[in-house]
Amino acid sequence: MLNKATLHTSNVVLGPVVALLLAVLLWATGWNVPVFIWLHGALLQLGGALWANATMVGDAAITPLLLAPYIRRRPGLLWAAVIAGLLSYAVSHGLKPLIDEARPPAVLDIEVVGRRLLHSSFPSGHTTSIFVLAGLLILGRAVQHRAAQVAVLAVAAIVGLSRIGVGVHWPVDVLAGAALGWVSAAAGLWLADRWRWGAQGGGRLLPGGLLLLLAGYSVFGLHSGFTHVALIQVGVPVLALAVAVVELYREFGAPVNRDKHH
């Protein structure tokens, strides 16, 4: 059962509102481009490989795999992730062609790590994905200790910054993606608590099965455009695949213990 206190309006709305207000401020004042130029240059000083690996953590095929340990312990969380992922993907990929904002490489002469993407900048899909995960873990009370919650948010922020570091998103894109991801996570938790099909009985196979498919796709079908990211692109899916198989077997395939005493 979802702890309703975690979905209090302030928990759900405060962060996204602050992020969107900052995005509007950057856009209205014309600071979006200068802030990008400063951040991009500063972040690249730490090396492009670092930001390539960080950005892979926010890939929509990789991020959900981090929920593999919860397949058996928190089936409702996995079901909420499916709903939140579909919601965030629909909104994000609906806005991208609608707004069709030019990406930084299309208007600036900058160093880009990975593919030189030019169009459909707003919002940042990778940032949306990682903040869906952060929202699920924190609002869904999978991570309860305050220090652990801060660590989750720090990782999400680093992934968001990585999109500026590799040179393909503006700060406004990242802030909007963070807001969208967090709200989508809250919506997914709320809907999953009211429609529990994917967290009960055979319906529980769907989220686990999707994780297996994502793991396979990440290893064999994902073309990220980055080099030196095998640890994330292959290591995370392989580990998640192993965890998912074990968790699914324990849940659905393990033989029932029988009393041998007569």
Structural domain spans, the chain: 4-251
Distance CA 252, CA 122 (A): 42
How many residues are given for the chain? 262
Whether 12 has a pLDDT exceeding 90, the answer reads: no
pLDDT-derived band at 252 (thresholds 50, 70, 90) equals confident
The pLDDT of residue 4 is 56
Q: Is pTM beyond 0.85 here?
A: yes
Q: Could you write out the DSSP letters of every residue in the chain?
A: ---GGGG-HHHHHHHHHHHHHHHHHHHHHT-HHHHHHHHHHHHHTT-HHHHHHHHHHT-TTTGGGGGGGGTTT-HHHHHHHHHHHHHHHHHHHHHHHHH-PPPHHHHS----SSS---S--SS-HHHHHHHHHHHHHHHTTSS-SHHHHHHHHHHHHHHHHHHHHTT---HHHHHHHHHHHHHHHHHHHHHHHH--GGGSGGGGHHHHHHHHHHHHHHHHT---S-SS-HIIIIIHHHHHHHHHHHHHIIIIISPPP-----
pLDDT band (50, 70, 90) for residue 208: confident
For residues 193-206, average pLDDT: 91
Reported as a pLDDT band with limits 50, 70 and 90, residue 203 is very high
Give me the chain's average pLDDT, please: 92
What is the number of alpha carbons within 13 Å of residue 154 lying toward its C-beta?
6
pLDDT of residue 205: 87
How far apart, in whole angstroms, are the C-alpha atoms of residue 20 and residue 178? Answer: 9
> Which CA distances in Å does 79 have to 40, 50, 70, 75, 191?
36, 32, 11, 6, 9
User: Domain 4-251: which CATH class?
Assistant: mainly alpha
Q: Among residues 153, 14, 41, which one has the least CA distance to residue 108?
A: 41
The CA angle 20-160-226, to the nearest 5 degrees, is: 145
- Distance in angstroms (rounded) separating the CA atoms of residues 246 and 253: 9
Q: What percent of the chain has pLDDT over 90?
A: 81
pLDDT in tens, 101-129: 999 999 999 999 999 999 999 999 999 99
Instruction: Output 215 or 258, whichever has higher pLDDT.
Output: 215
The pLDDT tens digits of the residues spanning 171-191 come to: 999 999 999 999 999 999 999
Which pLDDT does position 3 carry in this prediction? 53
As given in the structure block, the two tokens for residue 251 are: 């849940």
Q: How confident is the model at residue 2 (pLDDT cuts 50, 70, 90)?
A: low
pLDDT-derived band at 250, boundaries 50, 70, 90: confident
